[in-house]
Copies of this chain bind each other. A is one copy, B any other.
Amino acid sequence: MRINTVFEAISHPVRRQILTLLKAGPMSAGELAGHFDLTKPTLSVHFNKLRDAELVAVERRGTSLIYHLNMSILEEALSGLLGKKDQTP
């Protein structure tokens, strides 16, 4: 886990909102995009950053890409900062 990539990823409000939406369950790229006043290409860039951080996983279903939350990465990163030992690179 690249801890720095994770913290970079969650530094943007739109990306945190994406994670929050995915807590309710997996969702397609288009459905997620519908929750924002941003173009799909812009959202796609945000998805990529979340995927690079392994905060989400993606699965293709037909023409749609379904995004899933990977909660454990989030927990690991945040508990690292909250806990005693240093995990900052």
Chain A contact residue count (CB 8 A cutoff) = 20
Q: How many copies are assembled?
A: 2
Residue of B nearest to A8 (CB): B11
Interface SS of chain A: helix
CB distance from A12 to the nearest CB of B (A): 8
Residues of chain B with a CB closer than 8 A to A23's CB: 84
CB distance from A55 to the nearest CB of B (A): 11
CB distance from A21 to the nearest CB of B (A): 8
Q: Is A17 interfacial (CB 8 A cutoff)?
A: yes
Contact of A7 among B4, B16, B20, B74 (CB under 8 A): B16
Q: Is A78 interfacial (CB 8 A cutoff)?
A: yes
Contact of A74 among B10, B17, B82 (CB under 8 A): B82
